[in-house]
Amino acid sequence: MKAGEDGTYIRRLIPYHRVLHVFVQLSFFGLVSTGMPLKYSDAPWASWIMRFWGGYQNAGLIHRICASVTLGYFAAHLLFLIYYIGFVRKFRFDFFGPDSMVPRPKDFRDIYGSFQWFMGLSPRPRFDRWTYWEKFDYWAVFWGVGIIGGSGLLLWFKGFFGQFLPGYIFNIAIIVHGEEALLAAAFIFTIHFFNTHLRPEKFPMDTVMFTGRLSLEEFRRERPLEYKRLEESGELDKYRAKSPSGALLCISIPYGVFLLLFGFFLLVLILLGQFVY
Amino acid sequence: MRALTGGSAARRGIIVLWVMIVSLLPGLSLAASQSYCLSCHGQKGFSGGYVDQKRYEKSVHGIRPCTGCHLDVVSYPHPKKVAEVDCSVCHLAGTFGAPTQPARQYWLSVHGQAVREGVRNAPICQTCHGSHYILPPSNQQSRVNRKNIPHLCSGCHEYEYEQYMKSIHARTFFQMHDEKAAVCYDCHEEHRVPNVTQPRWELWVVRECGSCHRRELLTYRDTIHGEISRLGYTTVARCPDCHGSHDILPPSNPESTLYKGPNRVRTCRQCHPTATVSFTEYYAHPNMHDRARYPLLYYTHLFMSILIFGVFSFFSVHTFLWAYRSVKERHKTREEK
């Protein structure tokens, strides 16, 4: 397999999703690193980070800009869903099919099968296009943006909401906002990082989210059902692609490694804030 | 060897004798100067200033001679105008074991600064402590005894005194005789008297309130106000911003800045101009662990905790087992190769 050779790779993600994911990443890191000094204000690192941002006013501004980006990509994704399901699939989208993110009975069978495989009781379950942990990540973002975004908007526009909602709604909002953010950050920096990048098969990182492409061999091994389905329907050739260019990898690998390390750094601070101080 | 030790013993004897004589000297000179000075100043109604010998001797400086402080008086007749006593001669230098910390703190205080800048009537040591009859602060009769402090400060800070006397602190102190209630120097620190417009004091005073109001400080720290002020910023609500300062009253008092209704709305509007009555139902001192008082917060927190615990319980087991299996599989494929 030579670099740039045609057909040795498979296209898994369209550029629209890859770009949206970069927005997800950047806004997420911005939100976490400006929000956590408040939640863990008793930790000594909190005031260092606040000083790094140039005061809580600046950190608040960055937090709100990143929040706007978050709501932006959320809206962009909803628009995509309408476009894809309505215009591309003409409303004949199978919500419980392999291309859908909606959980289906097979996902629960796969969870069971995975635990059996972990314990050496059976071979690995054969996955289709989206595995159960990928669906979990997807819905976690949905739920997270809804919960953190909703409570965040409430706190952002407190003057407006305070006109007709009782003030203790802000007390509830800040608990929900902070704890859900803790869940999201700690989840991304441990479970998501492991599931997608750090497990031995992928270590140190999986570049598919940046390049959109996966080698045919890996594709066949990781998504056997999808491979078989595409091969049988003859659609496989439709998704064949060139291997990702060196330039793209030169950008995406350092970027990805940087975010991994940055995530671990924030994780250490969160753990210190949660358990030490 | 023996000669040497013998000689040193003799020398030691001489030193001890010398120390005894020297240590008697102040007593001698005290007796001399006091009786000499008091032959005029000890007479009631003496135009040059009467000193009550008995009261002087009971004061903390009672064993010191007059000339120990009135350094410019060295002989009689002394100059008509005797200089103001400079306490720093002992209390900055530590002479005769005099405590130096209060003077050093005073010198950096707003009071000391005013003196340095030459402000007329700026308070010097004697302004608060008096001169001849200084008693230890623990003495009920002392000018600086805890219960005399508000009255003492009122000499200059009349308005603040009037405000303070209306407060719950004054009422607790003077009517309920609870000496733990705050008086002026609990917040303004007797000698240090920091500038109240400086951020350092503005942040410090929050902890000072919390030294008595512990639970309130802890619950305040759980709000965005408390978090930002803990990070060192003063542009958020601190205790006095909502509760008032000198005329502080419990929120249940209709006169309080935090009494439910228009008072509280007015207080919140200092920072939140659109605050309404419903807005002011915010809990400024929430406690999400208190199920009886804050059931909504308690169950919200409980729900979030269960969610976090559930997600991490499942995925940590999932992740560790997966890691174990993946490593094992890799070993297997390597061996097969």
Determine the pLDDT at residue B24: 54
Tell me: pLDDT of A140 over 80. Answer: yes
Determine the pLDDT at residue B18: 61
Determine the pLDDT at residue A188: 97
Neighboring chain A residues of B272 at a CB cutoff of 8 Å: 158-159, 162
Asked which of A20-29, B89-98, B99-108, B316-325 is least confident by mean pLDDT, the reply is B89-98
Mean pLDDT score across all residues of chain B: 90
Is A2 contained in some domain? no
Determine the pLDDT at residue B2: 37
Mean pLDDT score across all residues of chain A: 94
Helix A15-39 crosses helix A56-82 at what angle (to 10 degrees)?
150
Helix A132-156 crosses helix A56-82 at what angle (to 10 degrees)?
130
Percentage helix, strand, coil for chain A under 3-state DSSP, each rounded to 5: 70, 5, 25
Contact (Cβ atoms closer than 8 angstroms) between residue A272 and residue A43 = yes
pLDDT of A90-99, one tens digit each?
999 999 999 9
**How many CB pairs lie under 8 A apart between chains A and B?**
130
Torsion from C-alpha of A79, A157, A47, A259, nearest 10 degrees: 0
At B76, which amino acid appears?
Y
Domain count across chain A: 1
> Distance (Å) from the C-alpha of residue A171 to the closest C-alpha of chain B?
7
Torsion from C-alpha of A222, A228, A231, A235, nearest 10 degrees: -70
C-alpha to C-alpha distance for B174 and B165, rounded to whole angstroms: 9
Tell me: pLDDT of A180 over 70. Answer: yes
pLDDT of A5-61, one tens digit each?
566 899 999 999 999 999 999 999 999 999 999 999 999 999 999 999 999 999 999
* Number of Cα atoms under 13 Å in the Cβ half of residue B328: 10
A159 contacts B323? CB cut-off 8 A? no
Is A1 contained in some domain? no
Determine the pLDDT at residue B337: 65
Report the first-to-last Cα separation within chain B, whole angstroms.
Answer: 90
Tell me: pLDDT of B334 over 90. Answer: no
Tell me: pLDDT of B254 over 80. Answer: yes
What B4-8 contacts at long range (C-beta under 8 Å, 24+ apart), as own/partner pairs, is none
Determine the pLDDT at residue B77: 83
Residue A276: C-alpha distances to residues A34, A40, A45, A271 (Å): 20, 11, 12, 7
User: Would an 8 Å CB–CB cutoff place B200 in contact with chain A?
Assistant: no
State which residues form the domain around A84: 9-276
Tell me: pLDDT of B212 over 90. Answer: yes
- How many residues does the structure list for chain A? 277
Determine the pLDDT at residue B22: 52
- B97 vs B335, more confident: B97
Max mean pLDDT range (A261-275, B36-50, B72-86): A261-275
Neighboring chain B residues of A118 at a CB cutoff of 8 Å: 318, 321-322, 324-325
A119 contacts B321? CB cut-off 8 A? yes
Residues of chain B above pLDDT 70, percent: 90
C-alpha to C-alpha distance for A37 and A63, rounded to whole angstroms: 12
CATH number, position A107: 1.20.950.20
What A244-250 contacts at long range (C-beta under 8 Å, 24+ apart), as own/partner pairs, is A244/A9, A244/A207, A244/A211, A244/A212, A244/A213, A245/A3, A245/A4, A246/A3, A248/A210, A248/A211, A249/A207, A249/A211
Determine the pLDDT at residue B333: 81
Determine the pLDDT at residue A277: 76
A183 contacts B304? CB cut-off 8 A? yes
C-alpha to C-alpha distance for B213 and A3, rounded to whole angstroms: 69
Determine the pLDDT at residue B14: 67
Q: Which two tokens stand for residue A119?
A: 């314990």
Tell me: pLDDT of B303 over 50. Answer: yes
Is A223 contained in some domain? yes
User: Would an 8 Å CB–CB cutoff place B290 in contact with chain A?
Assistant: no
Tell me: pLDDT of B1 over 50. Answer: no
Q: How far is CA B280 from the centre of its chain?
A: 32
A41 contacts B276? CB cut-off 8 A? no
Is A3 contained in some domain? no
DSSP string, B196-225: TTSHHHHHHHHHHHHHHSHHHHHHHTTSHH
A199: which DSSP letter? S
A162 contacts B276? CB cut-off 8 A? yes
User: Would an 8 Å CB–CB cutoff place B313 in contact with chain A?
Assistant: no
Max mean pLDDT range (A70-79, B38-47, B322-331): A70-79
Is A4 contained in some domain? no
Residues of chain A above pLDDT 70, percent: 97
pTM over 0.90: no
A166 contacts B321? CB cut-off 8 A? no
Question: Given strand A213-215, what is the order of strands in its sheet?
Answer: A213-215, A9-11, A240-241
User: Would an 8 Å CB–CB cutoff place B276 in contact with chain A?
Assistant: yes
pLDDT of A184-235, one tens digit each?
999 999 999 999 999 988 888 999 999 999 999 999 999 999 999 999 999 9
> Distance (Å) from the C-alpha of residue B315 to the closest C-alpha of chain A?
7
pLDDT confidence tier of residue B78, bands split at 50, 70 and 90: confident
Q: Which two tokens stand for residue A166?
A: 């009782």
B227 contacts A159? CB cut-off 8 A? no
Determine the pLDDT at residue A6: 62
Contact (Cβ atoms closer than 8 angstroms) between residue A24 and residue A141 = yes
C-alpha to C-alpha distance for B94 and B287, rounded to whole angstroms: 49
SS3 A74: helix
C-alpha to C-alpha distance for B235 and B271, rounded to whole angstroms: 9
Q: How far is CA A186 from the centre of its chain?
A: 13
Residue A128: C-alpha distances to residues A107, A205, A238, B11, B230 (Å): 10, 21, 17, 102, 51
Tell me: pLDDT of B154 over 50. Answer: yes
**Residues in Cβ contact with B118 at an 8 Å cutoff, skipping those fewer than 6 apart:** none
Determine the pLDDT at residue B3: 37
C-alpha to C-alpha distance for B289 and B70, rounded to whole angstroms: 63
